Amino acid sequence: MEYFVAVGETGSIAGASQQVNVSSPSVSAGVSQLEEELGVKLFVRHHAQGLTPTAAGREMLAHARYVLQQAGMLRDLAGDLSGSVRGPLSIGCLSTFAQILLPGLRQSFVEKHSEVRTTQIEADQSGLFSLLRQGKIDLAMTYDLDLPRDLTFLPILALPPLVALYETHPLAHLPEISVSELAPYPMVLLDLPHSAEYFLSFFTEASART
């Protein structure tokens, strides 16, 4: 049923596969099995154009979402009663540091809570905010930049800004570099939302000329 809802929301087996973190053949087989068990055709399959819910499929989707919601509430209740943490956890993360920060955090969390199924989505900051509001992720890991008032930000780690220099650069021998020392030199900045503004803000705050 979870595969069925994922296909209905994404419109394709491949999209559903990414959403539920299961292989495409398994998703396809699951949907076919559900159709066989219910005796109802849930999707019209278009060659190379995805799947469209039938009239019966659209009606079933609403009921399936409700059933999955109730099942999630039962799992949560069971977790409360047993004192354990269980169920799915979807994490969104900025693509600039997802591969550096997330693997260790996920591993340490799963070691403590083995019954939690974690998945991750990488996006830019505006994309993460949108996914949060749509309920497609449970939490997002991002910088504290231009945070909207309807979201709560909790700091978990302070990361100092880093600069990459070639080995013969005049400042390369220094263990630390101040903003004023760096200001006279040309820079290459990441072409990502908020990134350039963030790094340039250090020079603004220090009243340095860039």
Please give the average per-residue pLDDT across 24-52, as a whole number: 87
Q: Which regions of the chain carry the CATH code 1.10.10.10?
A: 2-81
12-29 confidence digits (pLDDT tens):
988 888 888 778 888 889
What dihedral angle (degrees, nearest 10) is formed by the CA atoms of 74, 76, 79, 85? 150
pLDDT-derived band at 54, boundaries 50, 70, 90 = very high
> Can you tell me the distance from the alpha carbon of 130 to that of 79, in angstroms, rounded to the nearest whole number?
29
CATH of 85-141, one of 3.40.50.10490, 3.40.190.10, 3.40.1010.10, 3.30.70.20: 3.40.190.10
- What is the third-level CATH fold of 2-81? Arc Repressor Mutant, subunit A (1.10.10)
In the chain, CATH 3.40.190.10 covers 85-141
76 or 113, which is more confident:
113
Q: Which parts of the chain are beta strand (E)?
A: 43-46, 50-53, 87-94, 116-123, 139-141
Pairing of strands 139-141, 87-94: parallel
Torsion of CA 41, 43, 47, 50, to 10 degrees: -160
Query: Mind listing the pLDDT tens digit for each residue in 58-104?
Result: 999 989 988 888 887 777 777 666 666 777 888 998 887 788 888 88
pLDDT of residue 107: 86
Q: Output the DSSP codes for 168-180.
A: TSTTTT-SS--HH
Q: What angle do CA 100, 104, 109 make, to 5 degrees?
A: 140
Residue 208: predicted pLDDT: 46
pTM score, whole prediction: 0.52
pLDDT of residue 79: 65
Q: Which two tokens stand for residue 130?
A: 């949108």
* Percent above pLDDT 90 for the chain: 12
1-5, 112-116, 174-178: least confidently modelled range: 112-116
d(Cα 57, Cα 20) in Å, to the nearest integer? 19
Statement: residue 205 has pLDDT above 50: yes
Q: Give the model's pLDDT for residue 81.
A: 65
Query: Tell me: the pLDDT tens digits for 133-162?
Result: 888 889 999 888 778 888 889 988 887 788
Q: Give the integer Cα–Cα distance in Å for 160 and 175.
A: 13
Phi-psi domain of 145 (left: phi exceeds 0; alpha: psi -120 through 50; beta: other) = beta
